[in-house]
Structure 1
Amino acid sequence: MEAPAHAIDTSEVFTALGSRPEGLNSEAVTTALERYGENSLPRAEEETSFQRLLRQFRDPMIYVLIAAAVVTGLLGEVVDTVVIAAVVLINALVGYLQEGKAADALAAIREMLSPASEVRRDGSWITVDSDQLVPGDVVRLRAGDKVPADLRLFKTTSLRVEESALTGESVAADKNTRPVAADAPLGDRSCMAFSGTTVAAGSGLGVVTGTGQDTEIGRITTMLGEVERVETPLTRSMARFSSILAVGALLLAVLMVIVSVVIYDTGWAEVLMSAIGFAVAAIPEGLPAVMAITLALGVQKMAARNAITRRLDSVETLGSVTTICTDKTGTLTKNEMTVRAIHTREHNYEVTGTGYSPEGQILVDGAAVDLGEHPDLERMAEVAVYANDASVEKRDDEWTLNGEPTDGGICTFALKAGVDKSEKRIAGVPFDSDFKYMATLDDMPDGRVIHLKGAPDRLLERCDRQRAPGGGTEPLDKAYWEEEIEAMGTRGMRVLAAAWRDGEEGRELATTDVDAGGFLFLGLYGIIDPPRDEVPEAVRTVQEAGIRIRMITGDHASTASAIAKEIGLRGDRAITGAELEAATDEELQSIVRDHDVYARTSPEHKLRLVRALQANGEVVAMTGDGVNDAPSLKQADVGVAMGNKGTEATKDAADVVLADDNFATISAAVKMGRTIYDNLRKAIVFMLPTNGGQGLVIFVAMLVGMTLPITPLQVLWVNLITAVTLSLALSFEPAEPGIMKRRPRDPEDALLDSEVILRILFVSVLLGGATIAVFQYLQMNGSSLEVSRTIAVNTLVVGQVFYLFTARFSRVSALRKELFTANPVSWLSVGIMLVLQIAFCYLPFMQDAFETTGVGWFGWAVPVVVGIIVFLAVETDKLIRRLN
């Protein structure tokens, strides 16, 4: 077809597809299947468990350790090889188990497709598997059916299709057979039914125009497959950090080898073991495990706050986002249509409460009304409850809807007003998208009444009078009502009208009776999918944290602007999908700097917006619930899906799933992410001086030709027990005061700034220098090599314990009550480490493995003195920095 199917008459569509309203014959179906293939979506290649395990070893620090294990194995140092290999494998297994299986979003989208369809072939209606549909097939749709392929509709009867998963619209779309403009947005293509959507009401016939990848949902899967995961700020920072550390350690190790061989003529075996000892000492091999465990703890805490994290590093990334792009329907709003305003000739009524729970009040000028004193309101509620096929009822402490969302909202208003359906319906005219009204003939106490509800323009055509202020009737003022309809529309409301007239005894109800007119116009219902109660406060919290919020929705511009204003988003107007379509990528980067609200968007628009923001240097979190959100969720730095009302495709494409569909949970998740980053940074700042001190001990010993104060195997012991005890304790640190008042950190900032680097160097020299000094003192006073090395290791370990106490507080003094109360895990970790160190010194099998020996009180007193010196020195450094 030269023109899209939605832009041409159905006769042209049939001609282009070689079909007709009676359907295809078997021969044509066979030919079409060979040409187009099955009506199914391609399967993505899944990552195997082995590939996921191998991915855990992609770290420069791990490469160095693997090389060290190979060399020690070649040299016959079996114990060293086994310990190094164990450390590497433990790190890999932690990451492997915590990360879980990679998601397959395309499989979830496939679940949305209908398994079987009613299709006309060879002149008869038959049921076939949906994957056997071909372009040109004629398909029948009924209420409750899933649309099996993209269809051009050529016959409809009150057909309404729920398309929110594709378009983001709050209400089911009315369908007809009339062509629309070629460039009409997806949500405005009223003559099309799209694969994966659901028939909400009515029936229809359509001819298949697209199958498999050629459908709208197929285009989304193609986009999803083309989107590559974005590296998180933490991943980028850690990659740079690991590379620098690994290269630095190797260069210094080479320098040591050259100096030892050239100057001291040391044997190659001894030199290589010393170089390996230095590399192992300088590289914090426990850091990957600590990082994985810290993130895993964050995942558990997030889960307790209804945020299920599917990728570990996404927890931290949430703490560094600079902008949140959010869908409207079901994310900021409840996706539950609510009557917010009632306008009669007498009053403007405000209706409080949200959703289908009949909890709320009806106010005039801020005061609750008595229904008995407001007959105009009572009549509006009467029409709402009688000209209505929906109902709301309480199940398991939750109010649920049976029927159409708009009808449910009007029904809930009637319950708030205290009006319930108690009289008998005699006849009715159901809603139809062609005439856009619903009418019922009801047997009321004062006689038969026709209740009429529908589109305001259609009701105004059928009314000649209106209810007058104070009661009675007066001639219809059509201009007045059109002005009020416009005013309510600009507030983002969907407007319906109510009217009534007396019914005739012995006569049923038909469209001709309604079209005959003579109705009394009562007033207007203003309906909207309102923001969740907690959203405005959550928006304020996120904005105070320096994060910008942008709403991207498929709904109409007026609705988007109204919701944006209500929740506190800035911006004077909504940018439409047509404007985005016309903009180049460079122009789009400029647009996203100045505007926060985007309406009538397609999946491609959402994806382009996310990419434009990322091109501007933003770290983007994207929230959504429909399959149309899946590509942009995958493209974003953090994709956040709704757990209750979100599609499985969206959840699988996302990094975080909100179990309560609550935007406010994002605020808590951002706080948790920032806390986790702070704690990771504290762990790094704690671990590096430890490794720096150990590396300094071996480096200095090799350069000056002295006996090594600690062996490579002892270095591994210290690193391992530090990682599983002291470093891990920092993962449990609570959030620092004012953490949600800070600006987001720049993702391009180095993991360690100059102040932190100076701290690391300073403490490394303290720990390393003290260890060398203690070892040399003991050697000069006749202590054995085993005793000297054991006390030297104790000095390193106890020095780290005291450094942990001060490292828990980055800037403020550690001499405060929170040192003892805020993180009890830190004290438990210290206790466990000391028990392990005592075993290291006194258990025979540990003595044999690590060449240690038991020491007296002096072997512990000296390390405690060194630890106190380290603590006081760092606290003095912090004091000086605070004063400056």
Structure 2
Amino acid sequence: MRFTILKELFAGFVRTRGIGRHFRRLLLLDSLAGTGVSREVPPTLSQTLIAAAKSDPDALLKQLDSHPHGLSEAQAEAARERFGLNEIEQEKPLPWWLHLWHCYKTPFDLLLTLLAVISYVTEDLKATIVIGSMVAISVFIRFWQESKSNRAADKLKAMVSNTATVIRHDLAEDAMEDARRYFDVRLHPKEPRKVEVPIRQLVPGDLVVLCAGDMIPGDCRVHSAKDLFVSQAAMTGESLPVEKFVRLRDGAMSNPLELENILFMGTNVVSGSATAVVVSTGNRTYFGALAQRVTSTDRTPTQFQSGVNKVAWLLIRFMMVMSPLVLFINGFTKGDWTEAFLFAMSIAVGLTPEMLPMIVTSTLAKGAVILSRQKVIVKRLDAIQNFGAMDVLCTDKTGTLTQDKIFLANHTDVWGKESDDVLESAYLNSYYQTGLKNLLDVAVLEHVEVHRELEVATAFRKVDEIPFDFTRRRMSVVVAEHDRHHLLICKGAVEEILSVCSRVRHGEADEPLTAELLARVRAVTADLNEDGLRVVAVASREMPPDKDTYAVADESDLTLIGYVAFLDPPKESTAPALKALAAHGVAVKVLTGDNELVTAKICRGVGLPADTVLLGADVERMSDAELSRAVETHNIFAKLTPSHKERIVRLLKANGHVVGFMGDGINDAPALRTADIGISVDTAVDIAKEAADIILLEKSLMVLEEGVIEGRKTFANMLKYIKMTASSNFGNVFSVLVASAFIPFLPMLPMHLLTQNLLYDISQIAIPFDSVDDELVKNPQRWNPGDIGRFMLFFGPVSSVFDIATYCIMWFVFGANSPAHQTLFQSGWFVEGLMTQTLVVHMIRTQKIPFIQSRPGTALLVTTGLIMAVGIFIPMGPFAHYFKLQALPLAYFPVLIVVLAGYMVLTQGMKRYYTRRFGWQ
């Protein structure tokens, strides 16, 4: 149970690529499965946390060489030198030599190296040089491309840095305090400074200021708190946020996970505020302790990675079948088992997709760089393919469908008449709250004239605050006016405010809230909602001035005084973006905690059908089976809680959809974690940014539409390479099998196959930069290894038809029909084989007629053209004897043109048949 919980913690805390800046998200705990590594808190860490929990706050600060006003800059720097950065040690980027080793240690390159060694032992130096060159070039290209993509990803991720608010003070203040105590002089020390520092720079002893939405940046002890609720469900299994206190209520508690004044790295603040002293950072945290105990293994493959691996193993299975066949056929027919073994090894190499990692990485890196120019930051490169596969996008309403700017449109009394008293009360509430100020608060605070008229700075003093949470959906502040009385002002959702009201204000008098008045209140707010306004109710209650601390229980017997109504008009780009997404097969579903009337009004304004809206209460009543059907027929969901959003996303995934979720608030974090692709914005709260795979610098659906297209282009180019490699290699090996059975010599030497394979791979380097047909980006795309296998079996033998035709031409027309003339035969097939292999790049990159209906990218056209020229130059030039080839007669080339033309015509015909029967992609 604890393992599952901790796994969710990792998934929610960090969503980064394999070599991240802070912490790996799922890898460490996934790799614990099936091992002997303990998931319990290490004993030394337990003792440290329990000791910190039981210590007096001031004594703990002294123990950590800290101060009630925080560390100074010099102290923080010294502690950083002592403890290091607040990051997991294993997560530092790999050194270049280790990265180079990872690029080399693929099964394909190891196989090539083995073949090179065998060639060297058998004193075939030329083959050794060619094979060694192939390994070196392949590894270098992969290393260079991955290094480049990692640097690009690091630059992008650096734009999304998380920070913590810490308290800093000057050491001179200590001297001032000592002087005050010694001379009994009243000095007024400066207030400690609050500064933002990157999380990775935090050190033990730092005093951290926390409020709603903040991530806990290290293992901390609460120093002071006000209604602090922390979500640590992923760590302890508690479904609801837990309240944290300064002191332990049970001093005998021995389980660190249950300590009421300890905050764990990776959890997040739901509501309230606090200051906490950092006890441990990096590897010394509970999070880091687990990371240290796990060997550095690759994380559990994503759906994208699994698809790539399945395709690679499909080709390897073909290799494991074909290579032994070639070995035994050549061994028995030629009698030279050594040569047969070398040739079989060459066949194995020819079937291996050795360039697959490089093509995939460079294609994804190119997509990430292009998206960065479109204000999209890709935190995890594999997410690009999920972007292209996405067929359902769940999004909030505010700031996405509507403008990211809220205007205060009305401030009315209970009866709908304009009221300055309501505006003043709302202003005081927004001004004095210390929690996460939303757009509604910002809109209220823009009325600075209220500040002057009320003389807020001199007439009012804040007494206390009851922070907002997503269960109550309201928050309150208590202010004292000239210290005569206390006034509790509560602001929040209409229904939640009404639930704690017993009276309504009518003019100067208060009246009991009867059923008739309640119906009238709801009618007034409904009218405002139908006008597209977001309505927030305001209530108040006078309290005696003899109380300093207030709690949720004090939010009762309130008087409803009116409403503030906000306008959030739709963006002009929303309707076109929704049409564009629909045209590309992406259904948009709106998941919001807002009122259903406002939501329906906005949705109708942007062209989304809003006939039926499913409410959070309906979601709560439905079973999973019922909701699973409802999510397919409904597009608008209103008044949802965070758990409702997460449940809807989870069931959409269970229905077979690839689901994207776009959100930026604390309440969006669970759904962001659950979605196939989490999308947030740079202005989102920390926990939302950490949970996301994609960060938008502009909160716009139009930007998402561009990202979807780029994701599909990226996938299409990767699929091109796989189809080309699969069909071409299979056809080549099939031709070798036929030739081996009937020809008394090897149809091609091992070094010929390897040279041909090397040139063919170089011709495909430009595939990531190829253009993509519009038809290939219209619909979501997913991996289907079964289709790859079928494609291979259909198109591989097409090239074999013309290979066999070349055999016959060389045998009967040019007289290459004996071991004495095998070099001529091998030269003829070398050129024809390379030409057809290179042409297949253009034939299979599109279902249209190549060069006429679909033009390749310039880079691909140049590389394939150069490789075809090199392929002809090798036997015709001065280096032919190094490759054991010879010049071909000029009469060969007209025949070659006819063969290639026939190959293109037959391949185009097969493409049409295949597309009609199975579809192209």
Q: What TM-score, normalized by structure 1, do the two folds share?
A: 0.65
Correspondence list, 1:194-209, <5 A: none
* Contact 2:502-2:512 within 8 A present in 1 as well: no
2:832 to 768, 782, 795: 795
SS in 2 for 1:733: coil
Matched letter for residue 614 of structure 2: D
Matched letter for residue 829 of structure 2: A
Show the counterpart of 1:353: none
2:874 to 815, 840, 849: 840
2:313 to 239, 243, 255: 243
Show the counterpart of 1:829: 863
In structure 1, C-alpha distance between the alignment counterparts of 2:776 and 2:891, rounded to whole Å:
45
In structure 2, C-alpha distance between the alignment counterparts of 1:174 and 1:162, rounded to whole Å:
6
Correspondence list, 1:384-783, <5 A: 405-412=439-446, 425=455, 427-429=458-460, 433-434=464-465, 436=476, 455=491, 488=525, 493=534, 495-497=536-538, 523-527=562-566, 534=573, 538=577, 542=581, 545=584, 557-558=593-594, 566=602, 572-574=614-616, 594-595=630-631, 599-601=640-642, 619-621=658-660, 623=662, 637-645=676-684, 647=686, 655-725=693-763, 728-729=766-767, 731-737=769-775, 739-741=777-779, 745=782, 747=783, 750-752=786-788, 754=790, 756-777=791-812, 779-780=814-815
- CA-CA distance at 1:408 after TM superposition: 1.9
Do structure 1's residue 48 and structure 2's residue 48 form an aligned pair?
no
The RMSD of aligned alpha carbons is: 6.7
Matched letter for residue 536 of structure 2: V
* Contact 2:795-2:907 within 8 A present in 1 as well: no
SS in 2 for 1:869: helix
In structure 2, C-alpha distance between the alignment counterparts of 1:876 and 1:145, rounded to whole Å:
60
1:353-373 CA-to-partner distances (Å, cap 9, x unmatched) read xxxxxxxxxxxxxxxxxxxxx
Q: What TM-score, normalized by structure 2, do the two folds share?
A: 0.63
1:77-125 CA-to-partner distances (Å, cap 9, x unmatched) read 333334334434444444444445599999x99953747699xx9x999
1:234-261 CA-to-partner distances (Å, cap 9, x unmatched) read 4223322322322322332222222333
SS in 2 for 1:684: helix
- CA-CA distance at 1:531 after TM superposition: 7.8
How many equivalent pairs are there?
760
* Contact 2:230-2:269 within 8 A present in 1 as well: yes
SS in 2 for 1:707: coil
Matched letter for residue 410 of structure 1: V
Q: In the superposition, relative to structure 1, how do residues 71 and 606 fare at CA in structure 2: closer, same or farther (>3 Å)?
A: farther
- CA-CA distance at 1:572 after TM superposition: 1.0
Matched letter for residue 882 of structure 2: A
In structure 1, C-alpha distance between the alignment counterparts of 2:320 and 2:262, rounded to whole Å:
64
- CA-CA distance at 1:611 after TM superposition: 7.3
Q: In the superposition, relative to structure 1, how do residues 275 and 314 fare at CA in structure 2: closer, same or farther (>3 Å)?
A: same
Matched letter for residue 264 of structure 1: K
- CA-CA distance at 1:525 after TM superposition: 0.9
Matched letter for residue 866 of structure 1: V
Matched letter for residue 807 of structure 1: I
State the percentage of identical aligned residues: 19
* Contact 2:680-2:695 within 8 A present in 1 as well: yes
1:528-564 CA-to-partner distances (Å, cap 9, x unmatched) read 88887656765665566555667788xxx55699659
* Contact 1:589-1:615 within 8 A present in 2 as well: no
- CA-CA distance at 1:883 after TM superposition: 6.8
Do structure 1's residue 307 and structure 2's residue 376 form an aligned pair?
yes
Show the counterpart of 1:83: 130
Do structure 1's residue 870 and structure 2's residue 903 form an aligned pair?
yes
Structure 1: 5+ residue runs without aligned partners? 1-13, 31-37, 167-172, 180-189, 348-374, 391-401, 443-450, 468-472, 500-508, 513-519
Matched letter for residue 574 of structure 1: G
In structure 2, C-alpha distance between the alignment counterparts of 1:225 and 1:319, rounded to whole Å:
36
In structure 2, C-alpha distance between the alignment counterparts of 1:543 and 1:221, rounded to whole Å:
47
1:622-642 CA-to-partner distances (Å, cap 9, x unmatched) read 555578978986776545453
Q: In the superposition, relative to structure 1, how do residues 428 and 597 fare at CA in structure 2: closer, same or farther (>3 Å)?
A: same
In structure 2, C-alpha distance between the alignment counterparts of 1:871 and 1:718, rounded to whole Å:
20
Matched letter for residue 572 of structure 1: L
In structure 2, C-alpha distance between the alignment counterparts of 1:312 and 1:117, rounded to whole Å:
41
In structure 1, C-alpha distance between the alignment counterparts of 2:349 and 2:363, rounded to whole Å:
22
Show the counterpart of 1:814: 849
Matched letter for residue 752 of structure 1: I
- CA-CA distance at 1:482 after TM superposition: 5.5
* Contact 1:847-1:853 within 8 A present in 2 as well: yes
- CA-CA distance at 1:868 after TM superposition: 0.9
* Contact 1:428-1:439 within 8 A present in 2 as well: no
Do structure 1's residue 258 and structure 2's residue 315 form an aligned pair?
no
* Contact 1:241-1:751 within 8 A present in 2 as well: no
* Contact 2:108-2:354 within 8 A present in 1 as well: yes
Structure 2: 5+ residue runs without aligned partners? 1-49, 67-82, 182-188, 194-200, 235-241, 249-259, 467-475, 549-558, 632-636
Show the counterpart of 1:356: none
Q: In the superposition, relative to structure 1, how do residues 439 and 483 fare at CA in structure 2: closer, same or farther (>3 Å)?
A: farther
Of the structure 1 ranges 587-596 and 192-201, higher mean CA displacement relative to structure 2 is found in 192-201
Of the structure 1 ranges 297-306 and 834-843, higher mean CA displacement relative to structure 2 is found in 834-843
SS in 2 for 1:495: strand
Q: In the superposition, relative to structure 1, how do residues 317 and 455 fare at CA in structure 2: closer, same or farther (>3 Å)?
A: closer
* Contact 1:230-1:637 within 8 A present in 2 as well: no
- CA-CA distance at 1:732 after TM superposition: 1.4
Q: In the superposition, relative to structure 1, how do residues 463 and 696 fare at CA in structure 2: closer, same or farther (>3 Å)?
A: closer
* Contact 1:576-1:599 within 8 A present in 2 as well: no
Matched letter for residue 806 of structure 2: T
* Contact 2:803-2:832 within 8 A present in 1 as well: no
- CA-CA distance at 1:718 after TM superposition: 2.7
Q: In the superposition, relative to structure 1, how do residues 624 and 263 fare at CA in structure 2: closer, same or farther (>3 Å)?
A: same
SS in 2 for 1:45: helix
In structure 2, C-alpha distance between the alignment counterparts of 1:23 and 1:588, rounded to whole Å:
52
In structure 2, C-alpha distance between the alignment counterparts of 1:697 and 1:635, rounded to whole Å:
48
In structure 2, C-alpha distance between the alignment counterparts of 1:462 and 1:573, rounded to whole Å:
27
* Contact 2:214-2:269 within 8 A present in 1 as well: yes
Q: In the superposition, relative to structure 1, how do residues 334 and 819 fare at CA in structure 2: closer, same or farther (>3 Å)?
A: closer
1:207-251 CA-to-partner distances (Å, cap 9, x unmatched) read x8x96699xx97899899999944233422332232232232233
1:24-74 CA-to-partner distances (Å, cap 9, x unmatched) read 7979999xxxxxxx9997835236345544444565544543433333233
Correspondence list, 1:139-178, <5 A: none
Of the structure 1 ranges 799-808 and 778-787, higher mean CA displacement relative to structure 2 is found in 778-787
* Contact 1:493-1:526 within 8 A present in 2 as well: yes
Q: In the superposition, relative to structure 1, how do residues 510 and 740 fare at CA in structure 2: closer, same or farther (>3 Å)?
A: farther
Matched letter for residue 814 of structure 1: I
1:247-293 CA-to-partner distances (Å, cap 9, x unmatched) read 32233222222233334322x33222222332233334344433333
In structure 1, C-alpha distance between the alignment counterparts of 2:658 and 2:870, rounded to whole Å:
42
In structure 2, C-alpha distance between the alignment counterparts of 1:563 and 1:51, rounded to whole Å:
53
Show the counterpart of 1:352: none
Correspondence list, 1:30-429, <5 A: 43=88, 45-46=90-91, 48-49=94-95, 52-57=99-104, 60-99=107-146, 112=164, 114=166, 229-266=299-336, 268-321=337-390, 323-324=392-393, 338-339=407-408, 342-343=411-412, 376=418, 405-412=439-446, 425=455, 427-429=458-460
In structure 2, C-alpha distance between the alignment counterparts of 1:606 and 1:45, rounded to whole Å:
34
In structure 1, C-alpha distance between the alignment counterparts of 2:287 and 2:316, rounded to whole Å:
44
In structure 2, C-alpha distance between the alignment counterparts of 1:877 and 1:177, rounded to whole Å:
74
Show the counterpart of 1:849: 882
